[in-house]
Structure 1
Amino acid sequence: MSALVCVARIGAAHGVRGAVKLWTFTEDPFAVKRYGPLLSKDGKRQFEVATAREARDHLVATFEGVTTRDEAERLNGIELYVARAKLPATDEDEYYHTDLIGLAAVTTDGAALGRVLAIHNFGAGDIIEIAPPKGTSLLLPFSNAVVPEVDIAGGRVVIALPEEIAGEESEER
């Protein structure tokens, strides 16, 4: 289990007084204010949210010590992390994506596929990336149909491989 969990990403500067666009990955967008100092991925920088207000699809936030547009512009793209222990506990059938990284991936009949490498979201829903022992990673929709079981305690996810993947060439050609 990862020690740090990404909870937000800083976007472009907003205005001239050090505010930034802030995309949060938490159920409650304002939860980022309650976690205390947020960390950069390497853990070397800390960011304390001073103010936050809702915008269309993000927050507009200021950080302690950031007071100019130039300072805000230098923060663009930084992902913000919090210690996993600071996050609320999950319900029995819930989990954080970070809890899945490294779990064994097996087919519905128990055959090993590899390990969960990442969960991605490129805008059309979550994608689970499975790294096989050899070869190219599998990118599959992270849906109940494709991932019918997540067993964190058992250290595995069950994958129901789709019968046909769109775009594959027929072997008969």
Structure 2
Amino acid sequence: MQLVVARIGRAHGIKGEVTVEVRTDEPELRLAPGAVLATDPAAAGPLTIETGRVHSGRLLLRFEGVSDRTGAEALRNTLLIAEIDPEELPEGEDEYYDHQLIDLDVVTADGTEVGRITEISHLPTQDLFIVERPDGSEVMIPFVEEIVTEIDLEEQKAVITPPPGLIDDRAEIASSREETAGAEETGGAES
């Protein structure tokens, strides 16, 4: 199975280093020196990581055969893809690979359908589920224990307990605001 683990950003310096947008929870494993990664577009690779380091909070990589800024800049926006065993599981309990979570149905604790996970966005502070709703719109759900209360891989679902406003339809929110405003206007006047 193939897993997108990073996207190459802009060149850094003049010796062939590039910034990367990490898309894996295990960069130390997937983006380590010596790792050979397929690419999309395929014409750019495969690429072998020569060195890696963190600079100002960003991961910088240098690839074998890329030794100058021009070569590094030519790789910009290339996706890096690792080959992984589909049976492989993360080491920690309650940890998941993106491919295990993509396409899970998302439901609330009372069974209300929210949608389907189409993407995982890895941010510095937390991960987000990008969920496609039945009407085609998207909602972002923080992947934190307080909100995502259960991941059931056998049942292919993620159970959430969303705080007010996280998944509510805009029309429902607007309607409840109008009702509240109308109640405040009529409720305070006495004859």
Identify the TM-score tier after normalising by the shorter chain: 0.7 to 0.9
Distance 1:35 1:110, change over 3 A: farther
Q: For 2:146 and 2:4, how far apart are their aligned partners in 1?
A: 27
> Is this contact kept in 2: 1:105–1:157, CA < 8 A?
yes
Confirm or deny that 1:54 pairs with 2:54. yes
Task: Name which of 16, 19, 33 aligns with 1:18.
Answer: 16
Instruction: State the Cα deviation string for residues 63-114 of structure 1 (Å, max 9, x = none).
Output: 1221221111111222211023289632442101331110111110122222
State the AA in 1 paired with 2:61.
A
Stretch moving more, 95-104 or 13-22: 13-22
Structure 1 CA distance for aligned equivalents of residues 123 and 27 of structure 2: 21
- Higher mean alpha-carbon deviation, 134-143 vs 82-91, is at 82-91
Change (3 A) 1:46 1:56: same
**Residues in 2 aligned to 1:102 and 1:146: alpha-carbon distance in whole angstroms:** 18
Kept in 1, the 8 Å contact 2:100–2:153? The answer is yes
Q: 1:36 offset after TM fit, Å?
A: 3.0
Taking only the aligned residue pairs, the percentage that are identical comes to 30
**Cα gap change, 1:117 to 1:48, in 2 (>3 Å):** same
Relative to structure 1, is the Cα distance of residues 58 and 111 closer, same or farther in structure 2, using a 3 angstrom cutoff? same
TM-score, normalization: structure 2?
A: 0.73
Partner of 1:164, secondary structure, is coil
Aligned AA for 1:149?
Answer: E
Q: Unaligned stretches of 5+ in structure 2?
A: 182-191
- Structure 1 residues not aligned, in runs of 5+: none
Match of 1:7 in 2: 5
Aligned CA RMSD, in angstroms, stands at 2.9
1:148 alignment partner, SS class: strand
CA deviation string 1:128-153 (max 9, x = no partner): 22222224222222221221111122
Higher relative contact order (Cα pairs below 8 Å, separated by 6+ residues) = 1
What SS does the corresponding residue of 2:154 show, helix, strand or coil?
A: coil
What CA distance in whole angstroms lies between the structure 2 residues aligned with 1:47 and 1:121?
A: 23
